[in-house]
Amino acid sequence: MFSYKICYCFTRKFKVTEAEPPSDVKEIFKKYSGDGVHMTSDQFRKFLEEDDQGGGAHEVSLSDAESLMEQIISKRHHLAKLIHRKTLSLEDFHHFLFSTDLNPPIRSQVHQDMNAPLSHYFIYTGHNSYLTGNQLSSNCSEVPIIKALKRGVRVIELDLWPNSSKDNVHVLHGWTFTKPVELLGCLKAIKENAFIASDYPVIITFEDHLTSDLQAKVAQMVTETFGEMLFCPESEKLEELPTPESLKHRILISTKPPKEFLEAADDKRSSLQKSQVSDVDDDAWSDDRSFKSGSDGSDRDLETEDLLKAKISPSSPVYKKLIAIHAGKPKGGLKDALKVEKHKVRRLSLAEQGLERAVENHGQDVLRFTQKNILRIYPKGTRITSSNYKPLTAWLHGAQMVAFNMQGYGKSLWLMHGMFRANGGCGYVKKPDFLMKCGPENEVFSPKAKLPAKKTLKVKIYMGDGWHLDFKRTHFDKYSPPDFYTRVAIDGASVDKKRERTKNKDDNWTPVWNEEFKFPLSVPELALLRIEVRDSNIPEKDRFAGQICLPVSELRPGIRAIPLCNRKGDPYSSARLLVRFEFI
């Protein structure tokens, strides 16, 4: 006799249901509409004025309210023009609150004072801006430069090397297998795309490995390509940097003047001879350079080796005149390099590990230096996959140019994106006043100090929607809808760091959480709110479902629609969250 076992496989339906408005939305609608059924244009105007939906108390004209109502109705009702609706329903109101276009979490306009010297701003900065992928073997191209500029990046780095015949200039990551691109193509790409995302100045930093003849050729290329867009200082050494406002639609060059470049080679030659090249330091105060292990197992500074072998001609005066922001270091150690010179401003570069040593041993000097001069931080040479470091330490010490691999996707880059969503995404963010002040004993802000909380940010995660439009139904789970949860975190000063998360909402494309979190903030000016949605997938790894990072200082109080982005930082078409922000 045979026995049969019959397995029945059940699959859950992938039905998407529209979640109703949260109770908070219903209460607000009832409060302003009166009857809880229809909201007139004047009632809508009062809501916009009084409920912090404009980011603070301000006047809203009736015509502006009516215009916004028309946009809301036309988005929801295709026949709106025919039926001439003059009021909003609860569903219309909810749709408005949940629209990332009509109700974004931060302002889209430049609103900060742009008339201070460049040293008073954090500046959106790229590292090895020409690389399409990793630091060792990827192609060099104008394409990543164009992408960076369109995202709002304001500092582009180009590494300049002679071509094989020594008669032209290539851009590539030296001493690697990266395929070069011609400098002229990069310059033209910068000119054509510099001011698409922002009107404010673009700074090109050169890492220069050229002879005097090729420097003269670079000067000709730069002058002919940019013409009147190029900013050339009247004085060889600026006592104070110009302002972003005065430099709108201008291009600036920043590099070592040729004379200092040769002196640096002489200094390093002497240093290497004394040490017999047995223990070469990272040279924390030097400009960018690549490192490779020598035959004896030691780290050799390849830029220095190149200089020791090359016969470099006297400097090019034409090239030198193009340099708006001089890079380089005084003779001596790191403490000397951080000295503030009364009648001179300059740019200093530190590798990320050099910054760590600097803030540990000379933290106050670092901050004083950045009040007048430019400090540029760049990734260490071992980040061959184009990964990035955490930027907060640099920002908390006033570093203006925190250089990132823009192709190096991950949480660190999300923080960079978040910082520069501020101030209308123009690529320049005014540093907080406390980073620019000295006390009666010349003391400055200390990021390590235990400071009391200035305010508390309340974040209420209501619900999410739109994933069913951006992803295939089986993207998260082959047999059922996703089980979404949301992580909410603050990144900033160490005292402010905190992580929270919602519960899982099983089998739902439109999850409703209605969970609130509180974040006490001691340094809210430099705090970043990071939100990430994931699909719980036990026992496998949870699946990514979107992220966004926002500057806390820019958050508009009230109920806001939060757009979600993919891992690269590009926004999804539809996935979004409904969130309320409140400061207490």
Q: Are strands 251-255 and 323-326 parallel, antiparallel or unpaired?
A: parallel
201: its two tokens: 């100045």
Question: Quick check: is 249 catalytic?
Answer: no
Question: Quick check: is 475 catalytic?
Answer: no
3-state secondary structure (DSSP) of residue 50: helix
3-state secondary structure (DSSP) of residue 530: strand
> Among 155, 158, 127, which residue's Cα sits nearest to residue 142?
158
Which listed residue (173, 326, 417, 468) is catalytic? Answer: 173
Which listed residue (127, 170, 397, 468) is catalytic? Answer: 127
DSSP assignments along 416-474, one per residue: HHHHTTSGGG-SEEEPPGGGS---TTS----TTS-PPPSEEEEEEEEEEE-HHHHS-TT
Q: What is the DSSP letter of 118?
A: G
Q: What is the DSSP letter of 552?
A: G
Rounded Cα–Cα distance for residues 437 and 432 (Å)? 10
Angle between helices 183-193 and 143-151 (to 10 degrees): 20
Q: How far is CA 115 from CA 61, 110, 246, 249, 347, in A?
A: 30, 13, 7, 15, 20
565: its two tokens: 């982005």
Q: What is the DSSP letter of 363?
A: H
Helical H segments across 227-309, by residue range:
258-275, 302-309
Catalytic residues: 127, 173
